[in-house]
Amino acid sequence: MIMLNANEKRVLSETIKEVESKTDAEVVTVLAGQSDNYLYISTLWAAFIALLIAPLMQFLPWWIEYQQAFTLQWILFIVLAVLFRWRPLTMWLVPKKIKYWRAANLARRQFLEHELHSTKDRLGLLIFVSQAEHYVEILADRGLAEQITNEAWQEIVENFIREVRKGKTGEAFVHCVEKCGELLKEAAPATVIKNELPNHLIVL
């Protein structure tokens, strides 16, 4: 899992606080190791491969009985089911569309759980990262979405991903918050002093 050290987390927290001092928007950052355990998919793959060997049983040596062959099939299933739980292999087996779907679902749950939909004037903003899925999304509530285009958010996301690929995760978070801050300052400049939601990085 991508881990930010204590100094990077402190800098990120200070950056969020600085950004929020210039806007009425509330910014929350969330980092998830993965958005699902995908147990059902790894198990299905193990079962599928184990079933595929059934037609090959007719080529087994004559001295192996049917019951023994059936036992071998079960052993193969169990071994594969355990092997496929190794996260790099699991993520390789899961279709990209499903990974993004699960990550997007978790992002929206986090948006609701942290009550970003309940902020004053609907100005909540979530910066969500799911490491295993290589997924980054920025979710803006209605008050911001009406003023800032999806293209503007997507440009920030793409820059974030490029920095992470260079191994600059801590810097990527900070730069992302700063870029979001520039948009927020224009769309919802500060009119009141507030701090409804946490400024620190939330790690799942």
What CATH number does the domain containing 114 carry?
3.10.310.50
CA 54 – CA 35 distance, rounded (Å) = 34
Residue 101 domain-assigned? yes
Task: Decide if 30 is inside a domain.
Answer: yes
Give domain status of residue 64, yes or no.
yes
Domain-ending residue, one of 57, 73, 93: 93
99 and 155 together in one domain:
yes
pLDDT digit string (tens) for 137-183? Answer: 999 998 888 888 889 999 999 999 888 778 777 888 889 999 999 99
Percent of the chain's residues with pLDDT above 70: 88
In this structure, the answer to whether residues 170 and 159 fall within a common structural domain is yes
Calpha distance 137→139 (Å, rounded): 6
- Residue 51 tokens read as 């079933």
Q: Domain for residue 187, yes or no?
A: yes
Domain closes at, from 65, 93, 121: 93
pTM exceeds 0.85, yes or no: no
Same domain, 67 and 166: no
The pairing of strands 124-130 and 26-32 is parallel
| Angle between helix 39-52 and 66-83 (nearest 10) | 150
Q: 189 and 119 in one domain?
A: yes
Domain closes at, from 70, 93, 116: 93
Q: Both 87 and 100 in a single domain?
A: no
Question: Contacts by 138-142 with C-beta closer than 8 Å and gap 24+?
Answer: 138/176, 138/180, 139/107, 139/108, 139/111, 141/116, 141/117
- Report whether pLDDT(188) > 90: no
Residues 105 and 187 both lie in one domain: yes
> Is residue 1, in this structure, part of any structural domain at all?
no
pLDDT for position 133:
86
pLDDT on residue 178: 92
Strands 124-130 and 135-140: antiparallel
Is residue 130 located within the same domain as residue 78?
A: no
**Domain limits at 80?**
39-93
Residues 56, 11 within the same domain: no
Q: Cα–Cα distance between 74 and 152 in angstroms, integer?
A: 52
126 has pLDDT over 90: yes
Same domain membership, residue 16 and residue 108: yes
- How do residues 50-103 score in pLDDT, each as one tens digit? 777 766 666 655 545 555 667 777 788 888 888 888 888 888 888 889 989 999
Same domain assignment for residues 48 and 136: no
Q: How many domains does the chain have?
A: 2
Residues 102 and 45 in one domain: no
Q: Are residues 67 and 161 in the same domain?
A: no
